[in-house]
Amino acid sequence: MRFSPSFLDEIRDRVPISDVIGKRVTWDRRKTNVSRGDYWACCPFHGEKSPSFHCEDRKGRYHCFGCGVSGDHFRFLTELEGLSFPEAVQQIADLAGVPMPQPDPQAEQRERERTSLLDVMELATQFFQDQLQTANGAKARAYLRERGLTGRTIETFRLGFAPDSRNALKEFLAGKGIGKEQIEACGLVVHGDGIPVSYDRFRDRIMFPIPSAREKVIAFGGRAMSPDAPAKYLNSNETELFHKGNVLFNFARARRASQGADGAGTIIAVEGYMDVIALHQAGIENAVAPLGTALTENQLDLLWKMTTQPVLCFDGDGAGVRAAHRAVDLALPHLKPGRSVRFALLPEGKDPDDVVRHDGREPFDKVLANARSLADMVWQREVQGGDFDTPEKRAELEARLRQVTSVIADESVRRHYGQDMRDRLNAFLQGSAPFRGERRPFERGGRQAGRQGGRGWSPAPNPVMGAAVEAGTAGSSKLNQMLKAGGSLRPPVLRESVLALTIVNHPQLLFDEYDEIATIEFDHRDLQRCWAAVLNAAAANGLRLTRETLMEQLEAEGFSALIGALDQQVRYARLWTATAAAAPEDAREGYLQALTLHRRTKALLWQKRELEREIAEATASEDVEQGQRLVRAMEEVQLELHRMDKLEAIIEGFGVLSGRVKGPAAR
């Protein structure tokens, strides 16, 4: 019997291809990354001793780099076990828990009708394309030129124009022998009760064909040319072909791009058609968009089928932030190990089209590089603008964070999110003293607030920590001299040195925490170049990368002096967990604490820049009350930055502050 494409897609999507292949092969433990759905084995189609057979759950495909075989679930079973195609479909359907379709003449008739509707949509697409090139389409062509679109881009996305006529498309299709019922079934005309004669749905609009995953046009979006139009953007209505909440604009093209070198394995979800098209023209081809509505669960599932961590990019205005917060709530219940989202927020008042049209792709790439994790978005949303000056308000924040993370269905991810929020809360409350309305410790006329009974809000001075600060300062001075001699203008801050050197000495951490580590941005110029070399070495060597191999490559690229200087800096500061002598578990603990400090400082600097901009705006508008409020907020941020500077060498768990790892003097 003939199986519908939708049925085959459904059972394929329900069964990871590794479940099918894993019953016939033994996965190689060194090369396989289960959390990413990335598997390697010796090829079952030809004899080999080293694994060159690869399959990816995300793509639902396998490929052998030795003999060249490739395919999907069904092809694997038909070629390896000699099953017929229906038998292979039966096996996958059983694994998926989906009953096989029974022979149904009516269903087969509907499938034939569906195919016929696709032919109608193709004719409509060609009609709109042709109309764009006529005299009637001159205004639309001018608009597209103003938006910076080239002829090649217009052709790639098959953009068109719907004339300002009630019957232009309907008459064209009727002239091609297309019946009234088919035209109505495609959603190309407005019809129904109270409408004696149907008329074209799209009139005087630039037309955006919406293709399916199989790249067949299934719907249209239309952008009104007239400013008086009731709806600026209009989509096709729901039809047999088109269900808006299940479709992403540019899905198939973005999926191909994400699987190639340029796509870097990720997918970017933006808000509109023009954003996708402008990004494509700028060379960013792995972008998709929902169709005029907020992202749906089904659309999020489509994103996860293409990549484990899509980037959701929102416009930099109030509506964009609110949309990002809705996406946070949408994603949280569905998180799983190796499946999350990141958020890229554009500058206020900008959308992706604006950014790449005026400034090229580089600023947009920077926005993507600074994309925030889902956990960061949850935290920022709950604390931003909050006032936590009483125990009750702090308890309320804690309860709210607990409630937000409780919706995560996966027990393991929920547990880790709960721990992450507790860690952030503890660091925030300990690091945010004085709270609004509280007396500062050691403030004139006040009592010392640093005693132990204060729950750690304002810890008292610690002589051991003070010694560590002095040692770190001395180390930075020494390093400054070394780097100036080598041509650098300034040394890295201590936390950056710790982050980089820990990975160099313990490269296994790079693979344990790759998604987090690969996104780190260093301020120091030489560290930026060195870090790029580290990531290139990791990409080239994979899990085979050792400290010795990495050091050889870094020395070959001229970074030996920098690595030596970093080593001197952390030793002066007695931060032994960053050295090669540290036990792996201690290196990991110290690294994560340094990373927390690094991110907190980055966030404060970003907040400081934003406040400076807002203060300038308030000054220009002579808004005295707003300016005073912003100045007070700036003072708090600067106080926090000052505290973070003092903590540069006081990362809990490092060096002399750790009970497990000691420096040479302690041995």
pLDDT at 431: 61
CB–CB of 203/119 below 8 Å? no
In terms of C-beta density within 10 A (0-12 exposed, 13-18 middle, 19 or more buried), how is residue 650 classed? buried
Whether residue 644 is predicted with pLDDT greater than 80 in this model: the reply is no
Whether residue 580 is predicted with pLDDT greater than 70 in this model: the reply is yes
Whether residue 225 is predicted with pLDDT greater than 60 in this model: the reply is yes
pLDDT in tens, 486-545: 444 456 778 888 888 998 999 888 777 665 666 677 778 788 888 888 887 877 776 678
Number of other CB atoms surrounding residue 150 within 10 Å: 11
| Mean pLDDT computed over 121-135 | 96
Q: Taking Cα atoms as reference points, which of 59, 55, 101 lies closest to residue 80?
A: 55
CATH architecture, domain 251-382: 3-Layer(aba) Sandwich (3.40)
What is the pLDDT confidence band of residue 332, given thresholds at 50, 70 and 90? very high
pLDDT at 661: 37
- Rounded CA separation 649/278 (Å): 46
Q: What are 46-53's contacts with CB under 8 Å, separation 24+?
A: 53/25
Tokens 């993370």 correspond to what residue? 405
Letter for the amino acid at 164?
D
342 or 661, higher pLDDT: 342
pLDDT in tens, 427-480: 887 765 433 333 333 233 333 333 333 333 333 333 333 333 333 444 444 444
pLDDT at 111: 61
DSSP states of 199-214 as a string? EES--SEEEEEEE-TT
Q: Taking Cα atoms as reference points, which of 242, 299, 227 lies closest to residue 269?
A: 299
Whether residue 664 is predicted with pLDDT greater than 90 in this model: the reply is no
Whether residue 126 is predicted with pLDDT greater than 60 in this model: the reply is yes
pLDDT at 108: 60
pLDDT in tens, 233-269: 899 999 988 988 889 999 989 988 876 544 346 899 9
pLDDT at 143: 94
Bridge partner residues of 161 (DSSP): 206
pLDDT in tens, 167-223: 999 999 999 988 999 999 999 999 988 888 999 999 999 999 999 888 899 999 999
- Rounded CA separation 437/428 (Å): 17
Whether residue 130 is predicted with pLDDT greater than 90 in this model: the reply is yes
Q: Which two tokens stand for residue 10?
A: 């459904």
65 or 123, higher pLDDT: 123
DSSP states of 310-358 as a string? -EEEEEESHHHHHHHHHHHHHHGGG-BTTB--EEEEEEET--HHHHHHH
- Rounded CA separation 529/274 (Å): 35
> 251-382: same fold as 105-242?
no
Least confident of 37-46, 231-240, 364-373, 620-629: 620-629
pLDDT in tens, 17-52: 999 999 889 999 888 988 888 899 998 887 777 888
- Crossing angle, helix 624-646 and helix 584-620, to 10 degrees? 160
Whether residue 346 is predicted with pLDDT greater than 50 in this model: the reply is yes
Whether residue 335 is predicted with pLDDT greater than 70 in this model: the reply is yes
Letter for the amino acid at 38?
D
What is the share, in percent, of the chain residues with pLDDT greater than 70?
82
Q: Taking Cα atoms as reference points, which of 566, 564, 599 lies closest to residue 498?
A: 566
DSSP states of 142-189 as a string? HHHHHTT--HHHHHHTT-EEE-S-SSHHHHHHHHTT--HHHHHHTT-E
pLDDT at 477: 47
Q: What are 113-116's contacts with CB under 8 Å, separation 24+?
A: 113/185, 113/240, 114/240, 114/241, 116/182
At residue 586, the 3 state secondary structure works out as: helix
CATH superfamily of 105-242: DNA primase, catalytic core, N-terminal domain (3.90.980.10)
Chain-centroid distance, C-alpha 665: 45
pLDDT in tens, 279-308: 999 999 999 999 877 899 989 988 988 888
pLDDT at 662: 38
pLDDT at 133: 95
CA angle in degrees (0–180, nearest 5) for 400-402-405? 110
C-alpha dihedral (265, 269, 273, 274), degrees to nearest 10: -80
Whether residue 406 is predicted with pLDDT greater than 90 in this model: the reply is yes
pTM of the model as a whole: 0.55
Whether residue 588 is predicted with pLDDT greater than 60 in this model: the reply is yes
Mean confidence (pLDDT) of the chain: 80
Cα atoms found within 13 Å of the Cα of residue 492, Cβ hemisphere only: 29
The strands making up 61-64's β-sheet, listed across from edge to edge, are 38-41, 53-56, 61-64, 70-71
| Mean pLDDT computed over 339-352 | 89
- Rounded CA separation 388/394 (Å): 5
pLDDT in tens, 8-19: 988 998 899 999
CB–CB of 512/588 below 8 Å? yes
Domains of the chain, by residue range, sit at 5-96, 105-242, 251-382, 385-454, 464-657
Domain 5-96, CATH:
3.90.580.10
Whether residue 53 is predicted with pLDDT greater than 80 in this model: the reply is yes
CA angle in degrees (0–180, nearest 5) for 611-613-618? 90
CB–CB of 97/15 below 8 Å? no
Length of the chain counted residue by residue:
667
What is the pLDDT confidence band of residue 628, given thresholds at 50, 70 and 90? confident
655 or 259, higher pLDDT: 259
Q: What are phi and psi of 209, to 5 degrees?
A: -65, 140
Rg, C-alpha atoms of the chain:
30
pLDDT at 139: 94
DSSP states of 461-530 as a string? P-HHHHHHHHHHHHHHHHHHHHHHHHT-SSPPPHHHHHHHHHHHH-THHHHHTHHHHTT---SSHHHHHH
Tokens 């999907």 correspond to what residue? 72
Say if residue 99 is preceded by a cis peptide, omega within 30 of 0: no
Least confident of 43-57, 383-397, 534-548: 534-548
